[in-house]
A and B are shown apart, each in its own frame.
Chain A
Amino acid sequence: MRRELHITVNGDEYHLLVDTQRTLLDVIRDEIGLTGTKNGCGQGECGACTVLLDGEPVNSCLVLALEADGHEIVTIEGLADGGVLHPVQQAFVDAGAIQCGFCTPGMVLSAKALLDRNPDPSREEILDGLKGNLCRCTGYVKIIDAVEAAQCLLEEESS
């Protein structure tokens, strides 16, 4: 069965007709064509498909597309402001927090949500905020460095 879906993704409005069983991840990747959001497991266990739903990080593979009806989504493609990277993105680049890059979109969005929620997280809070995002390449050391650096960049920006 198909139903109408009205969502805003990265500021753009979409009016789609989608199968009721489609996930938000399916719609973002296959219907809208934003492939920056990755599918790592399809079971809500790796965090690669993390997007922001009204500012909160969700595993888009666990959200039915129609549950997002009327809501605002931000994907990794929506984070940079024109040609200027978001401070979290810039910090990931500079800190060497990216290897294969497949976990990166989800990791960056989880980090952004964490810093939006809590601009001054302790190390423990950083670890807690990113526990749902698996990375097999980096060993996480430089991801923690990046989030701490992003924290400073954001502080400088706001002061």
Chain B
Amino acid sequence: MKTCVVRRGLPRIDAVPKVCGEALYTVDLKLPGMLIGKILRSPHPHARIRSIDTSAAKALDGVLAVVTHEDMPDTIFSFMQFLADKHILAREKVRYVGDEVAAVAAVDADTAEKAISLVKVDYELLPPVLSIEDAMEPGAPLVHEDKESNLGFEIERLFGDPDKAFAEADYVVEGTYVTHDLAHTCLEVSNCVAKWDKKARLTVWTNTQAPHTQRQELARLLDIPRRDVRVISSYMGGGFGSKLVTDMKAPIASVLSRLTGRPVRIVNTRSEEFTTAKTRYPYTMRVKTAANKDGRIVARDLLVTGDNGAYHDKGPATINFSAMMFGTLYNVPNIRAVGRLVYTNRQMGTAFRGFGNPQMAFATESQLDELAEKMGMDPLELRMRNANQPMQTTHCGAEVDGCAMTECMEVAAERIDWEKKRNDKGRTVRRGVGLANMVHTGGGGRFYGYNSAEAFIKLSDEGTATLITSALDMGQGAHTAMAQIAAEELGLKLSDVIVLSNDTDLTPYDLGSWGSRATFMNGNAVFDAARDAREALVVAAAEMLEVEPEEILVEESKIWVKGSDEMHDIGEIVDHSVNEHGWTISGTGRFVDKLPEGYTIKSAFAKNIPCFSFGTQAVEVEVDEETGQVHVLKVVAAHETGTTINQLMAEGQIEGSVVQGIGFALMERLIHDEGRIVNDRFLDYKIPNIGDIPEIEAVCVESEGTKGPLGAKGIGEPGLVPTAPAIANAVYDAIGVRFHELPITREDVVRALKEKRG
């Protein structure tokens, strides 16, 4: 495919404002008369609220409002209303350490802080349930007393006849795998400014990945018409899933603004970010896999139990998605997937890059190596024999179009030097190599019952194009990708495209940036809008140059007649069209992801995914037997991109994901003590720094056959999915110890080696 703007590693369109400190983030916004809000949070994991006394706080100079549940609308919330279980401010009970209890608005942060300390809450302590096991004990205290048990959600999906297949198979392996809760640690903490104006319209500026769904959620939370809510995002300091569902700061700031008549800002402290901004769902997974002597996997069985935390957020969707990826990674004829979510008195989970898939991949791809060993087969060979192929519908209904699974494995194995390193029995240091595969959505999902996007483009008489897109850029580069797609189709240079976004009054309705969705969905809409605008441009050029439209060529901001040397600027054509005839040139675009025949949300399972993306990571590690330190030496991350829109940015997504994956596998974990998170700062919750990273080779593997714009797939999440199991498999190759629980810490390694030696 010949391209001018895409498939190149062009600098991002927002790189200069960011590198000069000009880019304004929500947290940089200042409004006249703005007050500072602060939230009083529960110090107890589980307690009944007997009374709240706000009189001293209200009496403090500089305090303009103090609110409790009595001041809040009588609504109960979750991102899906049928899951609703949370009030804006706690009513009768608090359910985790950090639950919102009261809030203040004051003239400055010091006064707000002081006011919070003057609010007196009388608690009656209740016994908490702090683990899945405790919560599922018969007679366990209920997190939500209106529910029969702490089991918050359950699904079961069955394909084929797994029981029969397990009974007849040549090899069966079974094991339990455990993952932990992690913090997203976006460098910009969650924050908002709310302003309820004199026309009774609410504007909320916040760092959100999904302005339109947050607008709907805020209207629902505050019990006001959606038309009265406007949500504006801006440059965002990271998302990774943490900023999809409305955080209670936004409705609290909104009510405080209504009461005071002034804009109110609430910003998390870093400690609040660690303890209340939600986590990756911890999973306990019992997995069973069967294969025959020919190397074909014939059955898989999954029981995943997720720790929901105190309230419903993205848990049910996460469990569902995990099960879909469990069913799709390899085309296995007999599958059972059971998922359960259990309420506990802990911080709630939410979406986190990979959406349950990194947890699942740790279990299934670790187990595949265990199976290969039992079979006496090279784990790469086992994976090759079961690889998904292009244009295939799997047994669980996944419609795979373009698929580079085999190519990804080949590239990863070659670049890690698999054959040589895997069979190097003479090695003296404790080194090992391992690999793991992944499948993920490359285009969001149909979970809302639809999946669509729109975009608008207008051309100026200077030859620039203004693109209005709902693609939300949380740092991943969506605006640049959209601008590249528009420029490519319009025949413009990247620098000629201006992107407008982030404001629900401006942009078309959209589901937001999640599920590696923006490139595929918004990109298709942008492509359609650009095509529409290009057609109008060509008609105008043909009129001006007095030729037929078919004779017009457009490239790199120039227009000319086929066979002629006379070049015209696009601006010249638009200027002529606008100023001679009053014909403005613009384009509208829409992409509606067509639902498969007979689609229903409930039955769809893997048919919910419009586009699959495959990948393989191969890892080399060295294990220090004395200290237990696992040094990751090299990661080859080969991921399918369909068409790579921007080489630099795609590599950047993969590299960033891999390093988050290393954190997941080896370093990061929230530590709980009696329901309280004790490592609520970067010093104690260590994310990888620049000295912790291995050599990373990010490889974008292009493939054909996808329905994405110019053939592209999303690449935002995949790179995090297979890293942990690839590391665990490499550790096994190095020291012969199989870890079933993450993170693999130094203590774990030392202990395991001791046990192994006996």
Q: Give A residues with C-beta under 8 Å from B.
A: 29, 34-43, 45-46, 48, 75-77, 79-80, 85, 89, 92-96, 98-105, 108, 126-128, 130-144
Contact = CB atoms under 8 A, between A and B. Distances in A.
A106 B16 CA distance: 15
8 contacts: A29-B28, A35-B24, A36-B20, A136-B187, A136-B687, A137-B476, A137-B652, A140-B693
A99 B475 contact: yes
Given A35-B28, A45-B682, A99-B477, A104 B652 contact: no
Nearest to B692: A140
B27 A39 contact: yes
Given A101-B235, A128-B691, A136 B15 contact: no
B484 to A, nearest CB: 13
B415 to A, nearest CB: 15
B168 to A, nearest CB: 45
Nearest to B662: A139
Nearest to B474: A100
B689 A89 contact: no
Contacts of B16: 85, 93
Interface in B674-705: 681-683, 687-691, 693, 696, 698
Nearest to B27: A39
Interface stretch (B52-60, B196-204, B653-661): B653-661
Contact of B23 (A45, A101, A130, A139): A101
B467 to A, nearest CB: 20
A36 B649 CA distance: 23
B115 interface: no
B333 interface: no
Contacts of B652: 96, 99, 137-139, 141-142
B50 interface: no
A25 to B, nearest CB: 12
Interface string B1-12: 000000001011
A6 to B, nearest CB: 23
Interface string B211-243: 000000000000000000000000111101000
A104 to B, nearest CB: 5
A39 B188 CA distance: 8
A102 B648 contact: no
A96 B270 contact: no
A42 B269 contact: yes
B719 to A, nearest CB: 9
B18 interface: yes
Given A40-B187, A102-B187, A102-B237, A144 B11 contact: no
Contact of A140 (B25, B189, B476, B659): B659
A39 B185 CA distance: 13
A48 B474 CA distance: 17
B658 A139 contact: yes
Contacts of B269: 42
Nearest to A35: B28
A126 B656 CA distance: 19
Contacts, number: 169
Given A94-B11, A134-B687, A137-B656, 10 more contacts: A40-B188, A99-B477, A135-B690, A136-B240, A139-B657, A139-B659, A139-B688, A139-B696, A140-B659, A141-B698
B590 to A, nearest CB: 29
B308 to A, nearest CB: 25
Contacts of A98: 12, 14-15, 18-19
A127 B659 CA distance: 15
Contacts of A48: 187
B240 A96 contact: no
A115 B695 CA distance: 23
B587 to A, nearest CB: 29
B369 interface: no
Contacts of A85: 16, 19-20
B277 to A, nearest CB: 13
Given A46-B682, A141-B696, A131 B19 contact: no
Contacts of B696: 139, 141
Contacts of B655: 138-142
B682 A41 contact: yes
Nearest to A110: B690
Q: Kindly name the residue among B184, B237, B649, B698 whose own CB sees the greatest number of chain A CB atoms within 10 A.
A: B237
B21 interface: yes
B9 A77 contact: no
A126 B693 CA distance: 13
- The SS class assigned to the A binding surface is loop
A124 to B, nearest CB: 9
> Could you say which of A36, A77, A92 has the most chain B C-beta atoms within 10 Å of its C-beta?
A36
B22 interface: yes
A37 B21 contact: yes
Contacts of A131: 689-691
Nearest to B24: A35
A144 B302 CA distance: 41
B237 A96 contact: no
Given A40-B187, A139-B655, A100 B15 contact: no
Interface in B19-69: 19-25, 27-28
B717 interface: no
A101 B20 CA distance: 10
B21 A77 contact: yes
Contacts of A77: 20-22
Contact of A96 (B25, B648, B659): B648
B188 A100 contact: yes
Given A133-B690, A139-B658, A38 B187 contact: yes
A93 B21 contact: no
B652 to A, nearest CB: 5
Contacts of A126: 690
A41 B651 contact: no
Contacts of B475: 99-102, 137
Contacts of B19: 76, 85, 89, 92-93, 98, 101, 104-105, 108
B656 A139 contact: yes
Contact of B188 (A38, A43, A45, A127): A38
A13 B651 CA distance: 43
B498 interface: no
Contacts of A41: 270, 681-682
Contact of B651 (A135, A137, A142): A142
B683 A93 contact: no
A140 B696 CA distance: 10
Contacts of A46: 187, 270, 682
A104 B18 contact: yes
B270 A102 contact: no
Contacts of B27: 38-39
A98 B354 CA distance: 22
B578 interface: no
Contacts of B691: 127-128, 131
Contacts of B658: 139
Contacts of B118: none
B237 A93 contact: no
B21 A35 contact: yes
B475 to A, nearest CB: 3
Nearest to B696: A141
Contacts of A40: 187-189, 270
B188 A134 contact: no
A34 B21 contact: yes
B681 A136 contact: no
Nearest to B657: A139
Nearest to B683: A45
A43 B22 contact: no
Nearest to A93: B15
Interface string B498-538: 00000000000000000000000000000000000000000
Contacts of A144: 690
Contact of A75 (B9, B21, B651): B21
B14 A127 contact: no
B186 A136 contact: yes
B472 to A, nearest CB: 12
B263 to A, nearest CB: 16
